[in-house]
Amino acid sequence: MRKRVLVVEDDISNQIFYKKFLEKDGWEVDCVDNVKDALLSLESNIYELYIVDIRLRDGVNGNALVSASHLRPMIVITALSLEDMTSVEYLQKPIEAETLKRIIKKVTGT
Which CATH number characterizes residue 36's domain?
3.40.50.2300
pLDDT value of residue 69:
46
pLDDT value of residue 70:
64
* Calpha distance 99→97 (Å, rounded): 5
Mean pLDDT in runs of 10 for the chain (110 residues)? Answer: 88 93 95 88 89 72 60 70 55 81 82
pLDDT value of residue 84:
47
pTM higher than 0.75: no
pLDDT value of residue 18:
93
How many domains does one find in the chain? Answer: 1
Domain span at residue 50 reads 3-108
